[in-house]
Amino acid sequence: MGIVVVEICDGNTITTINIEEILEEEFPEVAVLTSDCLSFCGLCRVKPYALVNNKRVFGSTPEECLDKIRAQIKEELAIYQ
């Protein structure tokens, strides 16, 4: 398990890109967990989002969301440096 946990919902549009492979390859300290539901009812159909150490990160597109997730991961990792 990584020191930064990224959680995504199985029904979210962010799953149109292989976020798990991208992030875990780029950041060895990250664990990406996919759940059937993250209990933010309906949110996954409206916007791409993820939880990064329990903080919600949104984007208008999956790619924008991925960029924001990367920024949040870097912020989380800065704590350990």
Tell the burial category of 13 from Cβ atoms under 10 Å away from its Cβ (0-12, 13-18, 19+).
middle
The model's confidence at residue 80, banded by pLDDT at 50, 70 and 90, is confident
Are 52 and 69 spatial neighbours (Cβ–Cβ below 8 Å)?
yes
pLDDT for residue 2 = 63
pLDDT digits (tens, 9 = 90+) for 28-40: 999 999 887 766 6
**Residue 11 is encoded by which pair of tokens?**
């029904």
pLDDT digits (tens, 9 = 90+) for 8-24: 988 888 889 999 999 99
Our count of domains for the chain comes to 1
Structural domain boundaries, residue 50: 4-79
pLDDT digits (tens, 9 = 90+) for 49-66: 999 999 999 999 999 999
pTM for the full predicted model: 0.89
